[in-house]
A and B are shown apart, each in its own frame.
Chain A
Amino acid sequence: MVMQGDRGRCCRGTGAIQGPHGDAGGLGQVLGLLRWQWQEVQVPCLVAAWILVASLAKIVFHLSRKVTSIVPESCLLILLGLGLGGIVLAVAKKAEYQLEPNMFFLFLLPPIVLDSGYFMPSRLFFDNIGAILTYAVVGTLWNSFATGVALWGLHRAGLMDPGVKAGLMDFLLFGSLISAVDPVAVLAVFEEVHVNETLFIIVFGESLLNDAVTVVLYKVFNSFVELGPAHIHATDYVKGVVSFFLVSLGGTAVGLLFAFLLALITRFTKRVRIIEPLFVFLLAYVAYLAAEMVSLSSILAVTFCGICCKKYVEANISQKSRTTVKYTMKTLASSSETIIFMFLGISAVDTSKWAWDTTLVLGTLLFILLFRAVGVVLQTCVLNRFRLIPLDRIDQVVMSYGGLRGAVAFALVILLDGAKVKAKDYFVATTIVVVFFTVIVQGLTIKPLVTWLKVKRSDHHKPTLNEELHEHAFDHILAAVEDIVGHHGYHYWRDKWEQFDKKYLSQLLMRKSAYRLRDEIWDVYYKLNIRDAISFVDQGGHVLSAAKLALPSMPSRTSMSESSVTNLLRESGSGACLDLQVIDTVRSRRDKEDAVMHHVLRGSLYKPRRRYKASYSRHFISPDKQERQDKEIFRQNMKRRLETFKSTKHNVCSSKSKARLKEKGRKKATHRVPHPPTIPPYLAAAPVLVMVSSDEEESNSSETEREDDEGIVFIARATDEVLQGKKTPGSLDVCPSPCIIPPSPTLAEKELPWKGDQADLAVYVSSETTKIVPVDMQKAWNQSISSLESIASPPGIETGPQHKRFTCPVLEEQPQSASQVTPEQRSCFQFPSHVSKSSRSQSDSSPDGTEQQELQPLMAAEEPNRIVPSTEPRWLIQFNRASHL
């Protein structure tokens, strides 16, 4: 980020300091202790100084919340740049410190693009990929040509200053660089406006993807201008079209290639965790440089590198590396953006490059606004025929108005060759005006406009508790109905892709430990969750301990342990309610209560799945709770289903079941098919308790880093007593036969789309928190489904697989197993004789004996010796994985 002026100033600077320097030199010769070495450090020193100035300025801006709520930060930075540039101009009598195009493209732009690619809400992005691509390609083409031709028309009509010596090609060139929506400017303004995420992703995605079009048009027209209109042949036009595909697809391919490399490399960094973040930044940057080197679209390369590698990289690298990557990326992008805007302001002061022509400036402003609006309306007309959620008029207005131009246009216009493009000075002046106009005027007014048009915001205030509560319910209802309707048109292709991904890519690019974790149901919402993983971990400690503490009361929510736990939690919970705003608005006691309750509700109501995705923000790393929420909801739902199921099949658990569940269950029972004899009798009498162990998560967040994989245990018990809370160990031997119920594939597994092959059934869990949740859910889901299935499905279909399953469960589970000696090498089934004993000794976290038995995490990976195989009528299924493979 060396600015053009730096060197000049340095030369002069050293000249000015020459006197003392000479003295110091002389002194240095004598003493050899102190020497003035400004010359050697000047470049990094100036860079650091500028960054420091910009960052301090940011602090000052944010001292006043009022100012930043009205004026976007980018505007303030540009104004600051203007001021600083003015000072420099006044002091040095010459404009210094330009935004140098090379530095901009090589150092300032990549962090921003990488950040936006890596943290792109990928599901939202691919949901709207059609619209984004249309606006990016067709829209940009239309804008370029229309603006260029219209300006040329103005010129031909003689409205422009005769000093503007430009032909059609020059205007087309200018049109191509001025018409591209700028990702930096769009991000800077839109992340403060908080429009709804669809609108945001369309404008933002367009600004990223239109780079290919801009680059190609710019290069093609530039070479046309240099060739001169007389020398252009028809083949050149064809070449231009071909080069568009080459540049865009090539850029994407480079990005994908490097994403692949990056994922592959991070697969093997287990022993050198510390350089994991380095790889992410390095390879992404190399991707950018490589694309730039072969003049492909570098922005596309980095964007797709970020989008595609994230899934695998996040799965491979450690949790700390994830956090590091996240914060470093945000910091880099934020400082880049700050510097870009500040230098835009500074650069504008340099009047030597200006050549003003009112018609050109006003004409350009008018045309870019007009043609963008026209283009958006026309394209939306076509797109709305295909879109599930049409873009309405208000959306279109915001999209038209949100087409901000920025530093990319400025850098491109500076790059023009003044000798070839005669009107370069006019173009520079016009570009600066356009950039300033869009960033400052449109940036300032877009917020009031959005408010005035009542654009759907991503956040809104609820006046009453009822509305808040019921609207949440509505959202959940809608989400559920959408899922039932199967409303997702592109799901088919997503499924196809995910199957491919699961079969080949993930196996290749992910660590075994990571890969094992993610199959079947996890795939369905993997993309939703991955972005939230880091923040989930960041705040995991408190939340997870809560989740874990709540576990003992799974069979009965209202038990004593629950209330004590919640009492404990409530203190911290109510503490969180008292934030500044709430206190400020409190008028009376009643109001205060209201406010507190609102706060509690807002903080802890589950967000609807689809709508929850907040839009991208560079500066704020929002602590998302999606993953924890999914897990909790899933657990509760499964519990309810199982309770229903239990009370359906046998009313043993009546003391614990809720009345409504029994009611539901009885209703169900009356309609059930009677049990076929192929179902093992104990199954009918056995409540299946699905234990979801969250131990790893908690310990993971408290301990530093435990990379070893641990077993997760699902205990399926044949004893009702455990659930009923009897503590007599003797009564444990109720189950008639020492049978095994592996949660092995039933009919459902073969028929359901998200169910995978049976070899996947072995559960492998690593201690990396983000990956545990899905397995919990998935296995719990599998188990509950298979237990429901095996009972509900008709006998004829079920006989074959059931029989097979019960005769050779181990083989089916572990086709590759050679021996069954070491329990930690595979999932295995054991019949421990002293389960009650061992469980007591193993689990010391929960106070209650019964709950110990239910909970017992059975960390057999760590304590394999405790499990003694026997033929005791209690059975216990363990899925374990070796700590070290």
Chain B
Amino acid sequence: MDMLICVFCFVFFPPPVSHSQITRLYSRFTSLDKGENGTLSREDFQRIPELAINPLGDRIINAFFPEGEDQVNFRGFMRTLAHFRPIEDNEKSKDQNGPEPLNSRSNKLHFAFRLYDLDKDDKISRDELLQVLRMMVGVNISDEQLGSIADRTIQEADQDGDSAISFAEFVKVLEKVDVEQKMSIRFLH
């Protein structure tokens, strides 16, 4: 079974993920899978103790689940994790025409963007931004302060004047940030 899945991943997984990494991730997957049914539920993720002290923990858990689903299989698990593979030097040059790899800059950004964008309208509204801010900021900041921060953030990024941050604006405002590095984990080579 393990081997089958590994082979499966080799075939279907576009970026070159090494065999040992897949087995390692698979064993992690199975260790998380308390129900032992080959899929992870939200509760499986919520059992990871460190996530409980991560302010965005639950948002990230949700990012693993496709729209309207409550289970994620190993392939979906890997697909989400693939966003965090670092971009290797040889990948930059080759295969410009092919489908964009999951770990491209734009996909990395989109992953982050989706964490904000709860209603999936491709815009971060003030409310959505406020919710994330409230999660990330300590309790000793007032709602008014947060509100003004959110306003300022949107104003800073907003170009078309709709009082919301679209994905294009999101990319634009982060163009100076080394997203490739900040959204990569070396483990997932």
Question: Does B associate with A?
Answer: yes
Interface residues of chain A, those whose CB is within 8 Å of chain B, are 388-390, 463-467, 469-487, 521, 524-525, 543, 546-547, 550, 557-558, 562-563, 566-567, 569-570, 573-574, 593-594, 597, 600-601, 604-606, 609, 625, 628-630, 632-634, 636-638, 640-641, 658, 660, 664, 667-668, 671, 748, 751-752, 754, 777, 781, 785, 788-789, 792
List of B residues within 8 angstroms of A547 by Cβ? 139
Cα(A397)–Cα(B113), bound, Å? 37
Chain B residue numbers with a CB within 8 Å of A476 are 54-56, 60, 136
Minimum CB–CB distance from A390 to chain B (whole Å) comes to 7
By a CB distance below 8 angstroms, the chain A residues around B134 are: 557
- Contact residues of B with A, CB < 8 Å? 25, 28, 31-32, 34, 41-43, 45-58, 60-62, 64, 68, 70-71, 81, 84, 111-112, 115-116, 118, 131-145, 148-149, 152-153, 156-157, 170, 173-174, 176-177, 179, 182-183, 185-188
A641–B46 CA distance with the chains assembled, in angstroms: 9
Q: Give 24 pairs: A residue, B residue, CB < 8 Å, sorted on A.
A: A388-B187, A466-B153, A471-B177, A473-B112, A474-B182, A476-B136, A477-B112, A478-B84, A480-B61, A482-B185, A483-B48, A485-B187, A485-B188, A486-B31, A524-B50, A547-B139, A573-B140, A600-B141, A629-B138, A637-B52, A641-B46, A667-B70, A751-B34, A788-B46
CA distance A609 to B55 in the complex (A): 10
Could you count the A-B residue pairs with CB atoms below 8 Å apart for me: how many are there?
203
9 nearest interchain CB pairs?
A566-B142, A671-B70, A483-B50, A570-B142, A480-B60, A476-B56, A486-B28, A604-B138, A466-B173
Chain B residues with CB under 8 A of A629: 138
Chain A residue nearest to B71 in the complex (CB): A671
Extra A-B contacts (20), CB below 8 Å, given A566-B142, A625-B138: A471-B182, A476-B54, A477-B112, A480-B54, A481-B60, A483-B48, A525-B49, A550-B139, A557-B134, A563-B143, A566-B140, A566-B141, A573-B140, A629-B138, A633-B54, A633-B55, A640-B58, A664-B62, A754-B49, A777-B52
Q: How far is the CA of A601 from the CA of B137 in the complex (A)?
A: 8
Q: Which residues of A contact B137 (CB under 8 A)?
A: 601, 604-606
B144 cross-chain contacts in A, Cβ below 8 A: 566, 570
Bound state CA distance, A633 and B51, in angstroms? 10
**In the complex, which residue of chain B has the Cβ closest to the Cβ of A658?**
B131
Q: Is the CB of A609 within 8 A of B186?
A: no
Contact B112 A637 (CB under 8 A): no
Chain A: which residue is nearest B141 at the CB level? A604
Bound CA span A634–B58, Å: 11
How far is A748 from B132 in the complex, measured between Cα atoms in Å?
A: 30
**CB atoms of A465 and B182 under 8 A apart:** no
Chain A residue with minimal CB distance to B118? Answer: A660
CA distance A389 to B186 in the complex (A): 6
Known contacts A478-B182, A481-B81, A601-B149; is-contact A472 B142 (Cβ 8 Å): no
Interface residues of chain B: helix, strand, loop or mixed (majority):
helix
Chain A residues, Cβ within 8 Å of B60: 476-477, 480-481, 484
Inter-chain contact A465/B149, CB cutoff 8 Å: yes
- Give the distance in Å from the alpha carbon of A793 to the alpha carbon of B52 in the complex: 20
A477-B60, A524-B50 as given contacts; A606 in contact with B132, CB under 8 Å? no
- B140 engages A546 (CB within 8 Å): yes
> B residues within 8 A CB of A781?
49, 52
Known: A469-B133, A600-B145, A637-B53. A785 touches B47 (CB 8 A): yes
* In contact, B145 and A521 (Cβ under 8 angstroms): no
Q: What distance in Å separates the Cβ of A589 from its nearest Cβ neighbour in chain B?
A: 13
Chain B residues with CB under 8 Å of A388's CB are 186-187
The chain A residue sitting closest to B144, CB to CB, is A570
| Chain B contacts for A636, CB-based, 8 A | 55, 135
> In the docked arrangement, what's the CA distance between A567 and B183, Å?
36
Taking a contact as CB atoms closer than 8 A, the residue among B45, B136, B156, B176 that contacts A473 in the complex is: B136
B15 to chain A minimum Cβ distance, whole angstroms, is 15
A467 and B182 CA atoms in complex are apart in Å by 12
When the two chains form their complex, are residues A566 and B136 in contact, meaning their CB atoms are under 8 A apart? Answer: no
**Residues of B with C-beta under 8 A to A625:** 138
Chain A residue with Cβ nearest B67: A667
CA separation between A464 and B118, bound complex, in Å? Answer: 24
